[in-house]
Structure 1
Amino acid sequence: MVNDTVEKPTAVEEGVWIEGPDGELVPDYESSFPEINEGEVVHGTVVRVDKDEVLVDIGYKSEGVIPVAELTIRRSVNPADEVALGEEIDALVLTKEDAEGRLILSKKRARFELAWKKIEAAAESGEAVIGRVIEVVKGGLILDLGVRGFLPASLVDIRRVQDLDEFMARELRCKVIELNRSRNNVVLSRRAVLEDERKEMRQAILDRLSPGDVIEGQISNIVDFGAFVDLDGMDGLIHISELSWSHVNHPSEVLDIGQTVEVKVLDIDRDRQRISLGLKQTQSDPWQQVLDSYGEDDVVEGRVAKVVTFGAFVEILPGVEGLVHISELAAHHVENPREVVAQGQAVNVRILEIDGDRRRLSLSLKRVEEGEQPVPRADGAESVHETPNLVLSEEAFPAGGATATMDDEGELSEPEIESDPEADAEPEPELGTEADAEAEPEIGIEPDADAVPEIPAETTADIEPEASAEPVEDVEAAGEPSVEPASAPNDDSGAELEPDENPSS
């Protein structure tokens, strides 16, 4: 008969038997559990998911508890969205036994520790890391790398991104450009990854292009000094001076971001990998139209673009302006160009000189004969006005008829008010400001009591917006009656005005 009685051990066997409180040997159950320490990362299986915690079996004597706040670095999450029953996860031991005897674990801190090791290795090697966008914040994006990584808006793409929300929940490959473990600070750059990918494309573009080529691209950015064009692999610059044949105050006047344009390659710096582009070179040069269609002594039509103290600039074609010197405005002596022309006024002028090399035109208004027709416009556009009947004779001017006739046939009726007061009150402050030698004796001759109070108002209104006629008209209309007699110094016909002094009053 077999003896089934189990004999008790007579000596302690390490890992199997231990001596109990009463001196008896009992099984060593503790030795069958893995040894864990706080701060250690353990591996386990999710056995339960509640709304405020997750239970994980790590093979210890009790199941580990992960509070919802220790699941992820994201805020306000549902535990069921982070883990699933039966999923194997890593967790860091926070407390082996809390006040309630529970083993407290942290999934996010385990990821944090593991992620830092990967991030540090990636930063040293220059390799990219992958993270999911979990937040859009002011100035950039927050990526979940196991730690919170910050991706500045300027480094999200090669071009500035207008709407960062489109990247929400997307996985992005980035390079680590700044790392600070003590502050848990990780700064990323997706642009660096994209630029690396485009290096080969950039070199291929540089090898393919040559100065003089006309290519198509898309406006990627607009700055004060020009616009950048995406050439499907690298950006080229259109300097503001190469945007248009006419003057451009800011590139945004001509281009919009995202606009497709045809540009000409002006220069390629292969060492610095820079391409200079031109937009106006793909458009017809208006100056070439002038050289081909116009000649000296031709009468052409145009519109006054700007009035200055020494004359007026007239635009005869879009992007082509010529100067009518003050001496060429009228047959009589003109103290102020605004006596004769106003900004925006349509006029006929005679071409005195064409300087194609310097791109300069000298024009004359007084040499256009009454009824003389202008030559057809070089650009084929519609006429800016009907041919004016300019009567600027010496006999008519003292009585104000010449200036009035010109104004009546212009586009605006305001110059009728403008003629006499401008000739009277405006020259004194404007020429005084210019320190013109001719103005000094005139100011001394002008002691009229009525005109003196008006000069400060005219000075303020006229000097500041010198290039524009509109502000002057408002002031002149208000000051007309009081400054009428001051027109006498314009020529030697002042005696004729005495019988009709200030007829409008």
Structure 2
Amino acid sequence: MTEEFNENMILEINEGDKVKGTVQSIEEKHVVLQLDGAKYDGIIPISQLSSLRVENAEDVVKVGDEIEAYVTKIEDKEEDGHYILSKRKLDESESFETLQQKFENGETLEAEVKEAVKGGLVVDVGLRGFIPASLISTSYIEDFSDYVGKVLTLKIEELDQEKNRVILNHKVIEAEENKALKSERLQNLEEGAVVEGEVLRMTNFGAFVDIGDVDGLVHISQITHDHIDKVEDALSVGDKVKVKILSVDPENERVSLSIKAALPGPFETIDEKFKVGDVVEGEVMRLANFGAFVEIDKGLQGLVHISQISHDHIGNPSEVLEAGQKVKVKILDINKDEKRIGLSIKATEEQTEDFDTSYLNNQTTTDEDAPTLGDVFGDKFKDLNL
């Protein structure tokens, strides 16, 4: 009666059933489970322990652990039968249900990075999830292995249960975080403040500088006090620079910056180099009908009024000067407040004669040419009664 009763109590197990058992032993290539009420023990091949790659079964299970798994095959032998089980399939099935719900609701999930492989990262989301390199970060990643062991917040990019395909996205999370940080940073920026930044990239019209979660444009005209034709003449990517915040437009996420406004202007330090009365060399930068503008140092241009160009009378500065010409000038006046310098070219040249005496050299005086008293006094004598 006892044997008949025990046989009737044996649990009927079929392929596809979900069973629960206790880890009895851990072998090199598989794990043995004792299934309560079952005819045979269950065997989970190491490849079916997890959706992730497992080198050593002891890394994921230990003796005494209670495990659920699907029955994938029944090897029915009188003396040595057993059930082939897959914990992996059960995990994947349950995980797909959870992931499908999160995917449909647009929810995020957290997962630990288990491995860095060619082309991206492998994460554990109850099954093997993959983050392609292009979806890891908004920044360039040189070494993917730095992410191993980190827990990342992710969004599901693609989900296909038939192909056992789970594609995840961390870049979109990073982008949302960056946008929030940028918005907060923009609100806290103060126009007129001087901050440090790093040159990110350059264009033909200026340079974009990162000032911490925000980048702003330094127009080419705001790079230096000197005139430059190309941004590359003054800056390189990676340069650390001080910039002054000229304007902030939070709505359009635009920030205008100036490097030259954060530097001492040439007029601020002019006293260290020049004083009234100095004679210096300069370059004619441009001409106007009222005079010539001459640069005596970087960022320092002064006006030579037309009356100060030559001792001779001239109708237009272009009669004696041209752009690019080197000239000596005397500093007549420095007005730091109005950023003006008065210069003179003629003050550096000696005037040999006060008036034109050339006509004298062409005359020979004779008695006949000498003026008479009549020439000098004319009609003055006719009124006299001599």
Shared fold, TM over 0.5 = yes
Aligned counterpart, 1:49: 26
Aligned residue type for 1:254: S
Alpha-carbon shift at residue 289 of structure 1 (Å): 7.8
Query: In 1, are the aligned partners of 2:219 and 2:258 still within 8 Å (CA)?
Result: no
User: Cα distance, 1:190 vs. partner?
Assistant: 2.2
Q: Is residue 64 from structure 1 mapped to residue 45 from structure 2 by the alignment?
A: no
Provide the rounded CA distance (Å) in 2 between the counterparts of 1:196 and 1:107. Answer: 36
Match of 1:363 in 2: 324
Q: How does 1:279-298 map to 2 (within 5 A)?
A: 279-284=259-264
The Cα offsets for residues 208-236 of structure 1, whole Å up to 9 and x where unpaired, read as 224333334566x54657445152xx322
Higher normalized helix content (fraction of residues)? 1
What are the within-5 Å matches in structure 2 for residues 144-159 of structure 1? Answer: 144-159=124-139
Distance 1:153 1:274 in 2: 30
RCO greater where, 1 or 2, for CA within 8 Å and sep 6 or more?
2
Structure 2 counterpart of 1:127, from 104, 107, 127: 107
Structure 2 residue 184 is the aligned partner of structure 1 residue 207 = no
Structure 1 residue matching 2:24: 3-state secondary structure: strand
Residue type of the alignment partner of 1:211: E
Listed as ranges, the gaps of 5+ residues in structure 1 are 1-7, 9-16, 18-24, 303-314, 322-351, 354-360, 376-505
CA distance in 1, matches of 2:185, 2:133: 27
Q: 1:244 to 1:78 in 2, by over 3 A?
A: same
Partner of 1:238: 217
Distance 1:126 1:281 in 2: 47
Whether the 8 Å contact between 1:227 and 1:239 is mirrored in structure 2 is yes
How many pairs are equivalent?
293
Residues 61/228 of structure 1: CA separation in 2 closer, same or farther (3 Å cut): farther
Partners of 2:299 and 2:63 lie apart in 1 by 74
CA contact (8 A) 1:154 1:161 kept: no
CA distance in 2, matches of 1:320, 1:108: 76
- 1:336 match: none
Look up the match of 2:378: none
Amino acid at match of 1:80: E
State the match for 1:39 in structure 2: 16
Asked if the contact 1:301–1:374 (Cα under 8 Å) also holds between the matched residues in 2, the reply is no
Cα distance change, pair 66–240 in 1 and its aligned pair in 2 (3 A)? farther
Matching of residue 79 in structure 1 with residue 83 in structure 2: no
Aligned to 2:369: none
Alpha-carbon distance in 2 for matches of 1:135, 1:248: 46
Q: Percent identical across equivalent pairs?
A: 28
Change (3 A) 1:320 1:101: farther
Q: Secondary structure at the match of 1:187?
A: strand
Q: Say whether the 8 Å CA contact 1:222–1:252 is kept in structure 2.
A: no
| Structure 1 partner of 2:146 | 166
1:300 pairs, out of 277, 281, 295, with: 281
Equivalent residue runs for 1:312-323 within 5 Å: none
Using the size of structure 2 for normalisation, the TM-score is 0.60
Q: Is 1:26 the equivalent of 2:8? A: no
| SS of equivalent to 1:275 | strand
- Aligned counterpart, 2:210: 229
Q: Aligned pair 1:254/2:236, yes or no?
A: yes
Conserved? CA contact 1:129–1:175, under 8 Å: yes
Q: Secondary structure at the match of 2:223?
A: coil
TM value normalised by structure 1: 0.48
1:90 equivalent in structure 2: 68
Counterparts of 2:223 and 2:196 in 1: how far apart (Å)? Answer: 17
Name the SS of the counterpart of 1:44 in structure 2.
strand
Residue identity opposite 1:101 in structure 2: G
- Structure of greater Rg: 2
CA distance in 1, matches of 2:331, 2:54: 77
**1:79, CA displacement in angstroms?**
1.2
Structure 1 Cα separation of the partners of residues 296 and 122 of structure 2: 57
Give CA deviations for 1:173-212 in whole Å, capped at 9, x if unaligned.
2122333334333332223334444555444323222433
Shift of 1:318: 6.3
CA contact under 8 A between 2:20 and 2:69: conserved in structure 1? yes
SS in 2 for 1:61: coil
